Structure 1
Amino acid sequence: MNFRVSYYSSILLIALALMACSSTPTQQANTKETIVNQTEDAATEARFTQNLNQLLAQIAQSQEIPLASLETGFSDAKAIPSIRKLVLPPSGTFKKNWAAYRKRFIEPIRLKAGKAFWEQNQDYLLRTEQESGVPAEVIVAIIGIETIYGRQTGNFRVKDVLSTLAFSYPDTPNKASREQLFKDQLQELILLCWSEAGGSLPAKNSSQSTNPARFKACLNQNSSYAGAIGLPQFMPSSIRSFAVDGDGDGRIDLKQSPKDAIASVANFMKKHGWQPGMPIYFPIQESEFSNAKALADGEPQLKFTVQELIDKRILTKDQGDLQAGGVEPQSKALIVDLPYLDQDGNDRVRYVAGLNNFLTIVQYNRSYFYAQSVVEFAEALGYKNQSVVPSMATTNSKTSAKELNSTTPAKSKSKKSSSKKRVK
């Protein structure tokens, strides 16, 4: 990429003048249209380059990273027009369809791959579950839905993706906030890659110890069209905040190390409030959908207690898992709506009651469809969507729920693992 915008613009003007002079009158009409298009493209590229340079200068100053190193790393960065199309919101006529979404992700190929991934990493999955409290089935489901265990990790250079979306996001109502989000992610990528290349942060006087080739290779690694990386599809900020070294080799590799991916997913869920031993959602009977509809506002907030939903007949005590499952009446929930089209093309909606752990999955990917597909994928792998913590009333125990949460999941799962290798 050319970092001297004024020089580039001068050459462009000369080229345009020469093209205009050499055209015949008949050709000029066509050439004029071509020239206009080229000018617009050049102007867009010039703005892209200028904005990127400004951000690199800001990062160099704030993080004390040599500007020359950043310019070298981004010298060939480019905007990718196709990415702008991929992030556009659906058209106004588009209808969300839970049935179609579910069919895309909970299907034989992914499930077969999930069972194979489980068998290959069974011991480490069980250990991670015992340490984090996050069920192995949920971890396996997330990685399977995200990338089919590394088969689909994206084929765009991450620096191009983030640069495109930071400075050339499509004209949408949330354009400004989205561009800021990707500017932040671009800075997170730079800090991540600088550290991986051996540089310290702040990076004052550390340029000599940094491997330039390694820095650029990190910037050039593949990602999704939104800039997510590796088996679990972590954004750069999530890699820096939540990714961990699962295999103990001294580095975090979410692209090639299943253990790093497993440990990182579990750590993300734990840090975002996963409650060990608690269910994720409760089904709602179709006869109560009308009552549930009034409470489904689409906001990802735990607004109701389980007891309130029982009082409104949306849940029953056995569905609420209150008698033997240890779910407190004051546990919070939200009503999740899953619209779909039936076989006749009619609009329908399924409702479920999402608990705290449902909302934790939403933090991974802000979509009710995504969270519900993770749960049902996990259930297809044998996950039991119920509490493993005995209720206080049933046990007459003074042991706190917190103490039970810290011990019961491991015992429950180890017992389960003795039969059928935990895979169904």
Structure 2
Amino acid sequence: MFATGLLLSGLPTLANASYAEREDARSFIAEVAARHAFDPAELDRALAQARHEPTVIRLITPPTRKGVRSWQNYRARFLDHTRIEAGRQFWRTHAGELERASAQFGVPAEIIVAIIGVETLYGRNTGNFETLSALATLAFDYPPRAELFRRELEALFLLAREQGRDPASYSGSFAGALGYPQFLPSSVRAYAVDFDGNGRIDFDSDPIDAIGSVANYLRVHGWQTDKPVAERARLSPQTDAATLVAAGIEPSLEPGVLERNGVTALDGRTAAATATLVDLETPGADTEYWLGYRNFYVITRYNRSSFYAMSVFELAEALRLGRLVDEMRAARR
């Protein structure tokens, strides 16, 4: 039972209530304290700083009427001149760290740069929501995903203890994602690395830890070094694309199966490996079909969207080509 008993559109409204005074939050505090040897009074004091954030609820709630998905509209948000040129500059500035991360974790530099570019425009847009309040709001006032965000709130308390910080000192996205790479607190604890070797993880003001952490995240999730990510597919008129797409985002279609169903690479080659068939729809235009390989699937572990993964891949390709231009210009000097 929520403390106020007031519901608006099925969600609680607690503008004036302290989370630390609520029965559901106090039960949560007791559980976290018992699991991790916290002083319950310490968690009480921390949670008392959290504020209910109606904007967070508004931003995370899916629209009542879903808009029409458009790959071209989505792509245009991330494959623009500003993001490409800023990415080239980011690569120039951090070339040594990117080379080191690529060598250590086996992930191409352009993929690392592209993810940071898509997530936060290379650190320019990391979010200004107080993380403690955002996660408390979602943990206790957003029932559809309360379990997930209670885990993240718990992870925030653990992260703050490990880093010697006040839980209220973190800021990021409305969903609790932090810094340059937009890691949730649980991902910071599981995958972040101190890549600059200064003894602490800093996602707020220095991208070096983010570079290593993004590479580590992808490696842990199965990145295959020197293997393809995706390539355009060609379908025969008889191909049952809907059935193949419905096989799911994780690659499960063997090259021979794809070929027998009329699916090859754009130049007619058999698929390079087990793949998924990715459909990128745009209203009023032909659907783009791509072969997504294991590394494409790994990118979707960062954000479970084929549009997202393809934006990362295409931005990475644009950055890679830009880097080649930079290197050729430097060689002529």
Normalised to the residue count of structure 2, the TM-score between the two structures is: 0.88
What is the CA-CA distance between 1:317 and the residue it aligns to? 9.0
Once the two structures are superposed, residues 234-292 of structure 1 have per-residue CA deviations (whole angstroms, 9 ceiling, x without a partner) of 00111000000010101111112211000000000000000000110120136559543
Does the 8 Å contact 1:289/1:351 carry over to 2?
Answer: no
Q: Percent identity?
A: 36
The equivalent of 1:239 in structure 2 is 188
Q: 2:163: which partner in 1?
A: 196
In the TM superposition, 1:285-300 aligns within 5 A as 285=234, 290-297=239-246, 299-300=248-249
1:40-66: CA deviations, max 9, x gaps? 845994788332222112111221111
Match of 1:137 in 2: 110
Residue 359 of structure 1 is matched in structure 2 by 297
Amino acid at match of 1:353: L
Going from structure 1 to structure 2, the CA distance change for 1:264 and 1:383 (only over 3 Å counts) comes to farther
Q: How does 1:338-349 map to 2 (within 5 A)?
A: 338-341=280-283, 346=284, 348-349=286-287
Alignment of 1:78 with 2:51, yes or no, is yes
The correspondence for 1:56, drawn from 15, 19, 29, is 29
Q: What is the one-letter code of the residue matched to 2:25?
A: L
The one of 75, 99, 110 equivalent to 1:102 is 75
Who is 2:179 aligned against? 230
Mapped partners of 1:375, 1:118: distance in 2: 16
Counterpart AA for 1:267:
N
Contact 1:296 1:337 in 2 (8 A): yes
Q: Is the 8 A contact 1:281 1:353 kept in 2?
A: yes
Q: CA 1:379 to 1:45, structure 2 compared with 1: closer, same or farther past 3 Å?
A: same
Give the distance between the partners of 1:190 and 1:46, measured in 2 at CA.
Answer: 17
The amino acid that maps onto 1:223 is G
Cα contact 1:310–1:316 (8 A) shared by 2: no
Q: Which moved more, 1:66-75 or 1:243-252?
A: 66-75
1:262 and 2:211 aligned: yes
Residue correspondence of structure 1 range 28-47 to structure 2 within 5 A: 41=13, 45=17
Q: Give the counterpart letter for 2:114 in structure 1.
A: A
Classify 1:77/1:154 alpha carbon distance in 2 versus 1 (closer, same or farther; 3 Å): same
Amino acid at match of 1:278: K
Query: 1:105: Cα distance to partner?
Result: 1.1
**Counterpart in the other structure of 2:319:** 381
Change in 2 beyond 3 A, CA 1:375/1:289: farther
Among 303, 315, 320, the alignment partner of 2:264 is: 315
Question: Match of 1:339, as an amino acid?
Answer: E
Among candidates 161, 184, 187, match of residue 151 of structure 2: 184
Distance 1:316 1:152 in 2: 37
1:82 partner SS: helix
1:370 equivalent in structure 2: 308
1:299 Cα deviation after fit: 2.5
Contact 2:239-2:262 within 8 A present in 1 as well = no
Distance in 2 between residues matched to 1:113 and 1:254, nearest whole Å: 19
Greater CA drift, 238-247 or 78-87: 78-87
CA deviation map 1:155-184 (0-9, x unaligned): 1110111111111116xxxx1xx2101111
Which runs of 5 or more residues in structure 2 are unaligned?
A: none
Give the secondary-structure state (helix, strand or coil) at the position aligned to 1:351: strand
Q: Which residue of structure 2 lines up, in the alignment, with residue 404 of structure 1? A: none
Judged with a 3 Å threshold, the aligned counterparts in structure 2 of structure 1 residues 131 and 73 are, in CA distance, closer, same or farther, namely: same
Q: Deviations 1:342-388 (Å, cap 9, x if unpaired)?
A: xxxx264221111000000000101110000000001111269xxxx
**How much has 1:337 moved relative to structure 2?**
1.4
| SS, match of residue 332 in structure 1 | coil
In structure 2, relative to structure 1, the CA distance for the partners of 1:294 and 1:179 (3 Å cut) is same
Q: 1:16 aligns to what? A: none
Corresponding letter in the other structure for 2:111? V
Ranges of 4+ aligned residues in structure 1 off by more than 6 Å = none
Aligned residues: CA RMSD: 2.9
Matched, 1:69 2:42: yes
Q: Contact 2:231 / 2:265 at 8 angstroms: preserved in 1?
A: no
CA distance in 2, matches of 1:159, 1:295: 42
**TM-score normalised over the length of structure 1:** 0.70
Tell me which of 119, 123, 134 is aligned to 2:96: 123
Q: Judging changes above 3 Å, is the alpha-carbon distance between structure 1 residues 133 and 289 closer, same or farther for their aligned structure 2 residues?
A: farther
User: If you compute each CA radius of gyration, which structure gives the higher value, 1 or 2?
Assistant: 1
**Residues in 1 aligned to 2:196 and 2:35: alpha-carbon distance in whole angstroms:** 33
Distance between the aligned counterparts of 2:326 and 2:86, measured in 1? 19
| In 1, Cα distance between equivalents of 2:330 and 2:29 | 51
Query: How far does residue 36 in structure 1 lie from its aligned partner after superposition?
Result: 11
1:158 and 2:125 are equivalent in the alignment: no
- In structure 1, distance between residues paired with 2:308 and 2:14: 39
